Structure 1
Amino acid sequence: MSSSQKLNNACQEILDNCSNCGQCISECPMLERIGEDLVSIAMRQPTVEEAYACSLCGLCEAVCPASLSPRTMFAEARTKAVEDDEILIDEFRYMFPDRDLNVMTLYRELNGTHYEEFPLDQTSPVAFFPGCTLLTYSPELTKAAFNNINQRYPELTLLTDCCGKPLYQLGLQRRGDDYVSYLKAKLEKLKVRSLIVACPSCYYQLRPAVSDLGITLMTIYEALGDSPVLKNQTKSDQLKLVTIHDSCPDRFEEKFASQTRAALKKRGYQLVEMEHSRKTTACCGSGGQVTHFQPELADNMVKSRLDEIKRSGAQIMASYCLSCVLNLSRNSSYVPTKHVLNLLLDLDQDFEGLKNKAKRMFDGPEGEKLWERVMAD
């Protein structure tokens, strides 16, 4: 089926079933900014700018009484825009995970981040898939997680690939499918039978692929299981009241949401919930790569979420998605932000400013040269 037909079908689903109750608009800053009811948007179909302003977070679907999915309409509009050359998507190739050099691999190169001391891409029944964000921006946490899992799975190998989700988010459907085929072939070659995943985006992105291969997929929290480190009460006398920012891909199944809350309680942390949590969690502002297309909108989403975190009264915000942590750790006047694994593994880190540090790679004359490198064909 063509991308145009898929978009038509997504729009028709809304036209046939939407009552225009406004629930999605009341929750979504992007829909509110458009200033039209959902039926009107579906009737004329989203513009390219609107498609790439959607964070693809799924909150619209979660609050819809009819379980309609406006995000599917916007996602299909992205794919159509790419296939019809309505957007110069190649200008964003610095994000493409299937390129040898992209912003993440460059960041690791410049900061001397490597994992050569670990068994990389080895034939093994059990593999750890941290995800590209954790690999890039928190090698300390990645290594600590591997070492803890390794105690339970001595044959563990480390995979440093991306799950490929950014390609789909950008509207590069065919390129995404090719990348998934590469990952499936790699997993088969390495004879992996169990795949341990740290990132919720990776978990839900990879699940259909590994299911085809008969591979068991586990979250890192399942893999840690009864690890000795999780049996001990936290030694920290401070920052005991925690609120969890849930990751958008987990909103419908709440697998990571439930497992991380149980693990934190076991470690002695007290939890307090925000107004938007679990199924109705609000996007941190990094969903759908919106920061690259609509930075002002993304910044407003960050502020809105930070205000809600502050109102919760928590002493620390924890998330099981490092992309969320990085996006929400940009303002020191708010509640400190940590990855859930930081709390569980007693590994303290300061993520503030890390995202800005990545942007500064391209400042000045040397930065211009790096930009030329990462954008080279």
Structure 2
Amino acid sequence: MKGCPMLYGFTISPKKLLSKFTTELPTSDMAFACANCGLCAHMCPQDIDFGKVFTASKTTFADDKNVLKKYGYGAVIFHQKSSFSRLFSTTKKFTTGEYTHMAFMPGCALSSYSPSLVHSVFSYLRSKCSGIGIIQQCCGTPTRMMGDMAQFKTYHSQLERDLEKMGATTVVTACENCFMSLKTYAPHIKIVSLYSLLAQIGLPEAAKARHKNAPKMALHDPCPTRYEKEIHQDVRTLLAQMGQPFEEFKQNREKTLCCGSGGMLELTHSGLAHEQMRSRAHQTECESIVSYCQSCAESMSKGGKNGVHLLDLIFNPDFAMKQEAQGTLKKWYNRFRSRQKISALKDNA
């Protein structure tokens, strides 16, 4: 229970909660308080997965749109419709090069945070993987986390059609939610983490040894890729290659804790979410916390520390070791600018 954002609010022990489920189903309030982080299933000696129970309950509750409305689903629908609109999504395929079968997918959060960072990352990928394309699109995770599987399948199908039109049989993801969503629901597509690819092709020369005199950071592992041991190791390899001093959280890698934004928790139970953000952020004495998930980086900033994205350390020479706080309107503008930058790219031919 220690690392779970919600259990203390609903029970005094997992055993009592499980006993309760033998006679009644979870309430909607309980189901939508689950961050779907997977910690309970990993830690439980009896392999009991409360997350699966709550996920199934959400799917049932999603049949009643009034229930979803209670938990802020209107904002999710707005996000998803906008994310898949021509205003904020696009693809760019290139016709020449060895890697025309690959597409880079930065994800919603990174595009919302920094169009210039997305552009810098992709420019470097093009220099190393000639012909790689790029897709600015959502993976549909918000609707899936809310239990609306019918709507998720609609959005996921759109993403698959876009990738098919690009001829992309391999997708390189910068977002851990995108990585897991595609790995789970599109097994015919090869999914590669950007961080594993960078560990393979090498870092830009300017990134190496830039951080040897930088203050020590704590490294937070995102919970979606809890079991992706290769990604965990590759991220640590990249930090070592840069000379960036860092320390581990006590609960890291497979035992990592949710940052507070998992399962759309900030929307459905904002109090629980912000409590978890503060709790996680203060489990280290480091003032800066680096992660390879933009949502996690933002959560650590909201929790009272300096949330930093690993890609800023690699590709942003002017990064001041602190992300600038951005409102919703600025984030959507950033996504629009990112889409414009992608549309303006020229073919290699």
Q: Deviations over 1:191-239 (max 9, x none)?
A: 1122111111110110134422xx3221112332333516853324543
Match of 2:191 among 217, 221, 224: 217
Residues 1:101 and 2:76 aligned together: no
Q: Counterpart in 1 of 2:291?
A: 319
Alignment of 1:8-157 (within 5 A): 25-36=1-12, 37-43=16-22, 44-85=24-65, 87-89=67-69, 92-96=73-77, 99-101=80-82, 120=92, 124-157=100-133
Take 2:270 and 2:207, find their aligned partners in 1: how far apart are those partners?
42
Match of 1:196 among 167, 172, 197: 172
Paired residue type of 2:292: Y
Q: Counterpart in 1 of 2:337?
A: none
CA drift of 1:88 comes to: 3.7
CA drift of 1:306 comes to: 1.3
Residues 1:344 and 2:314 aligned together: yes
Contact 1:194 1:216 in 2 (8 A): yes
Contact 1:55 1:289 in 2 (8 A): yes
Paired residue type of 1:204: M
Contact 2:39 2:256 in 1 (8 A): yes
TM-score, length-scaled by structure 2: 0.82
> Structure 1 residues 341, 291: closer, same or farther in 2, change over 3 A?
same
Take 2:6 and 2:60, find their aligned partners in 1: how far apart are those partners?
20
> How well do the aligned residues superpose, as a CA RMSD in angstroms?
2.8
Mean Cα deviation higher: 224-233 or 34-43: 224-233
Take 1:244 and 1:271, find their aligned partners in 2: how far apart are those partners?
6
SS at match of 2:191: strand
Give the % identical residues. 26
Paired residue type of 2:48: L
Paired residue type of 1:206: L
Take 2:166 and 2:79, find their aligned partners in 1: how far apart are those partners?
19
Give the paired residue count.
Answer: 320
> Structure 1 residues 308, 210: closer, same or farther in 2, change over 3 A?
same
Paired residue type of 1:327: S
Q: Counterpart in 2 of 1:9?
A: none
Q: Counterpart in 1 of 2:219?
A: 244
Take 2:56 and 2:313, find their aligned partners in 1: how far apart are those partners?
38
Q: Counterpart in 2 of 1:234?
A: 209
Take 2:225 and 2:187, find their aligned partners in 1: how far apart are those partners?
18
> Structure 1 residues 271, 40: closer, same or farther in 2, change over 3 A?
same
SS at match of 1:163: coil
CA drift of 1:285 comes to: 0.8
Match of 1:272 among 247, 254, 272: 247
> Structure 1 residues 320, 209: closer, same or farther in 2, change over 3 A?
same
CA drift of 1:315 comes to: 5.0
Take 1:335 and 1:88, find their aligned partners in 2: how far apart are those partners?
32
Take 1:68 and 1:231, find their aligned partners in 2: how far apart are those partners?
47
> Structure 1 residues 88, 169: closer, same or farther in 2, change over 3 A?
closer
Q: Counterpart in 1 of 2:134?
A: 158
Contact 1:248 1:282 in 2 (8 A): yes
CA drift of 1:61 comes to: 0.9
Take 1:209 and 1:98, find their aligned partners in 2: how far apart are those partners?
21
Contact 1:239 1:316 in 2 (8 A): no
Take 1:165 and 1:280, find their aligned partners in 2: how far apart are those partners?
22
Relative contact order higher in (CA < 8 Å, ≥ 6 apart): 2
TM-score, length-scaled by structure 1: 0.77
Contact 1:231 1:266 in 2 (8 A): no
SS at match of 1:87: helix
SS at match of 1:218: strand
Take 1:341 and 1:46, find their aligned partners in 2: how far apart are those partners?
40
